[in-house]
């Protein structure tokens, strides 16, 4: 079996009982490990992750989770972690801690006779995205894309890594907390097939003859399994802090959605 999950936002200052959430996530991974060949984590597993030039004692809070991933890799299970828009600032440290393979961009894989496009989902838009939205929405998207470029700028990343972890973490976790509280207060539901950015992106890929059987994303914190006219399926995984949803691909190439209820 191949498993897909995303968006745990471990360490979030807006999620109560964070240790219990981490324990539940570890239990889920243990359950998956019974028949897993690979486990793909499609971004934002941490609410904020930055690797500084000096030792960051706060990373101890993630020790149980990282140790679990290390244990699974030693068992021969392939662990893949995609960076999201909250935890893209890893420069080799996370890989050393977990033994996982880190993906900084989207990728296409072939498994069990199926082709899968995997990505966190932030910043993915159709080529003509501006024609789909009114001015107000376009400005929000442009603002997000600008911040995305700032966060990915190598020079600015270098500067942030120079900060004392205490200062950098206070800024990073505070910013992430505001985002989480805003989402919890005003959740953004599924926008519909003709407005949901990731669905439009998948449709655009299909128009360009870049056919995949499955497009699998995180990021949006909604659960979606939509089949397009081309036969491709767009899957948005939900999250692993509130909905506890994930996907599973069996040896016949069938993808199914599940909810973890221990």
**Residues linked to residue 5 through DSSP beta bridges, in sequence order:** 41
Range of the domain at 65: 2-259
Contact present, 124 and 197 (Cβ < 8 Å): yes
Tell me how far apart the alpha carbons of residues 62 and 49 are, in angstroms, rounded to a whole number: 10
Q: Are strands 78-82 and 101-103 parallel, antiparallel or unpaired?
A: parallel
Structural domains counted in the chain: 1
Nearest by Cα to 91 from 148, 150, 152: 152
- The rounded Cα 190 to chain-centroid distance in angstroms is 17
Q: What is the pLDDT along the chain (262 residues), one digit of tens a residue?
A: 999 999 999 999 988 888 899 999 999 999 999 999 999 999 999 999 999 999 999 999 999 999 999 999 999 999 999 999 999 999 999 999 999 999 999 999 999 999 999 999 999 999 998 888 888 888 988 999 999 999 999 999 999 999 999 999 999 999 998 888 888 777 788 999 999 999 999 999 999 999 999 999 999 999 999 999 999 999 999 999 999 999 999 999 999 999 999 8
The domain that contains 7 carries what CATH number? Answer: 3.60.21.10
Which positions ≥6 away from 224 have C-beta within 8 Å? 190, 196, 199, 234, 235, 236
């Amino acid at each position: 079996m191949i498993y897909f999950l995303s968006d745990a936002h471990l360490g979030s200052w807006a999620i109560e009982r964070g240790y219990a959430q981490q324990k539940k996530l570890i239990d889920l991974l243990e359950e998956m490990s019974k028949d897993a060949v690979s486990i793909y984590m499609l971004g934002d597993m941490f609410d904020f992750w930055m690797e500084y030039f000096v030792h960051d004692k706060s990373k101890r809070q993630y020790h149980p989770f990282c140790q679990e991933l290390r244990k699974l890799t030693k068992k021969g299970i392939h662990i893949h972690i995609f960076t999201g828009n909250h935890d893209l600032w890893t420069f080799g440290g996370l890989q050393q801690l977990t033994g996982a393979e880190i993906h900084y961009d989207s990728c296409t894989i072939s498994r069990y006779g199926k082709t899968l496009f995997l990505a966190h989902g932030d910043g993915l838009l159709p080529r003509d995205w501006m024609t789909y939205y009114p001015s107000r929405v376009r400005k929000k998207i442009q603002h997000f894309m600008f911040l995305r470029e700032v966060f990915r700028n190598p020079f600015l990343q270098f500067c942030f890594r120079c900060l004392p972890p205490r200062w950098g973490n206070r800024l990073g976790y505070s910013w992430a907390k505001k985002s989480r509280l805003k989402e919890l207060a005003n959740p953004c539901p599924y926008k519909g097939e003709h407005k949901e950015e990731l669905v439009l992106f998948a449709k655009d890929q299909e128009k360009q003859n870049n056919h995949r059987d499955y497009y699998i994303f995180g990021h949006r914190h909604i659960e979606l399994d939509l089949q397009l006219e081309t036969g491709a399926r767009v899957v948005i995984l939900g999250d692993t802090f509130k909905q506890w949803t994930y996907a599973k691909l069996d040896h016949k190439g069938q993808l199914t959605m599940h909810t973890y209820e221990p």
